[in-house]
Each structure stands twice: as structure tokens, then as C-alpha cells.
Amino acid sequence: MNILTWGDLHGQDIWKKTDVDRYDKIIFLGDYVDSLYLDDQTIIRTFTEVIDFKKQYPDKVVLLIGNHEINYLFPKYCPLGYRVSKVENFLTIFLKNFDYFRIAFQYRNYLWTHAGIHKGWYHYKLKEKVEETDRNLADTLERLFIERYPPLFEVGWARGGTQYDVGGPFWLDASLLIKKPLAGLHQIVGHTHVKTIKHYKPYPKDPETTVTLCNCVERGDGSSYELFLDEIEEQ
């Protein structure tokens, strides 16, 4: 399984350089809209082109939802780059194509979400919600998203939320994730800005728990993350 991951685009079109034939999966980590630098029309065009890319390669391309998209669905916090004048435009495009998006993707013990799963948040907010019919954690997250389970949308204190919450998979800050990620998973996330792809092994004696930060498109070196694993397993 050859997997390419793109971090938060925020209107950037660098993803177009992707050699589609090289990869079995191409995963976008969300945050397609809003920008500190680009104009509204550029953002709208890129957002639409990414969706068209998914339609062209429905089994290969995975579009995750980020906190910037969530904020247009459920306005509560206004992240940087928020476009008040374009709420209707972004929301119309998003809702029209909503079925092409998801909040998590998992292959074996590799988990992609926008911001990550914190160990404490999982045990206090998610563990009791896991059902036997869930194939993996991504399935649990998708099911609870459909049910609009409130903890999924919690904003961590590091991002302006309450002092008691670390944040759910849309709003968890990487400073908290890399200290206590959920054990047993290789997590690939965006959300928190980094200059280039960063890898962390928070638990020295546990090689099966890692965190890879990929949000370096808009304010970093524009890198994508390539992951090469043996065997292809459909999810």
C-alpha cells in the first residue's frame, strides 16, 4: 500500500503535482478553505477542484474534514482566515458534496484524522462508545459523527476551548497530541502548523505509537507525506 498524505491546503493548489499512478491512496487531511493569503475565488476554485479530484478517483482519494469546514457547519469559534462574506458559498459547496467527505481513515493501525486522538480524550469520551460491530476506530468515529456526538467537536484549551478539554479530532492541538497520543496507533494529522513533515515517538518503548504532523502546505515547505506499506487491504 503506497499512501500519499496532503496536509491542510487552505486554498493552495500544490497538490496538483501529485502523480496519481504512484499511489493506492491519496489522503487530504482537511482545511481546504480559509486562508491568510489567498483571495476568495482562489480558495473556492481549489476547494471545487479537490472535490472533482475525488469524483475522478473515488476509490483512491480520501477527503477528510478539518476544523475550518466544521466551523462553517457548526459556527462556534472563528479560526484564522475565516471568511464571513463567503459562509454561504463554502457551505453550499460543502453540503452539496458532503457524501464525499469523512472524518477518519484507517489502514491497519495507521489512523488519519484532522487533529488526532488524545489518550485521555479517548478513555474519557470515546472508549465507552465503541461497539463490537465497528471494524476499527475510524468506523467508530464515522458512526459517532453521523450521530453528532458532542465530544467530537470539543475545542481544546490550547485552541481557546474550556480548560477541561484537550479537544476532539478536529481541534486537538499537536502540543498535547505528541505528549499523550492514543497508544497502538500511527497517527497522521494536520491542524497544527509545522515547517516541514515532523515525526514523533512519544513512548520510547512503544514503536507502534507514533505521530506524524503534516500541516506544512500553507505556511511551511509544501511537503506531502509518503508512506509505503506492504500488502493492499481494502478499507
Question: Residue 64: which CATH number?
Answer: 3.60.21.10
pTM score:
0.94
Number of domains forming the structure of the chain: 1
Angle at 73 between CA 67 and CA 75, to 5 degrees: 80
Within a domain: 233: no
Asked, for residue 67, whether it belongs to a domain, the answer is: yes
Q: Is residue 13 part of a domain?
A: yes
**pLDDT grade for 83, boundaries at 50, 70 and 90:** low
Q: Averaged over 107-117, what is the pLDDT?
A: 98
The closest alpha carbon to 219, from 83, 30, 5, 36, belongs to: 36
- Residues 137-162: tens digit of each pLDDT: 999 999 999 999 999 999 989 988 88
Q: CA angle 65-2-18, nearest 5°?
A: 65
Extended strands (E) in 16-129: 25-28, 61-64, 101-102, 105-107, 110-112
Residue whose C-alpha is closest to residue 29's, from 3, 2, 52 = 3
- pLDDT band (50, 70, 90) for residue 109: very high
In a domain, 25, yes or no: yes
Does 116 score more than 60 pLDDT? yes
Nearest residue to 126 via CA among 147, 101, 152, 103: 152
Cell 494529522 identifies what position?
189
Kindly indicate the confidence band of residue 233, based on its pLDDT and cuts at 50, 70 and 90.
very low
Averaged over 20-37, what is the pLDDT?
Answer: 94
Question: Residue 71's pLDDT is what?
Answer: 84
Whether 95 maps to a domain, the answer reads yes
Residue 182 has pLDDT above 50, yes or no: yes
Mean residue pLDDT of the chain comes to 92
Average pLDDT over residues 220-227: 97
Residue 131 lies in a domain: yes
Domain that includes residue 69, residue range? 2-228
d(CA 209, CA 74): 32
Instruction: Average the pLDDT over each of 73-77, 144-148, 191-195 and give the range with the smallest value.
Output: 73-77
Q: 52-61, 82-91, 150-159: which has the minimum mean pLDDT?
A: 82-91
Q: What is the mean pLDDT of residues 216-220?
A: 95
Averaged pLDDT for residues 102-126? 97
Tell me what pLDDT residue 165 has.
87
Residue 234: inside a domain: no
- Indicate whether 32 pLDDT > 60: yes
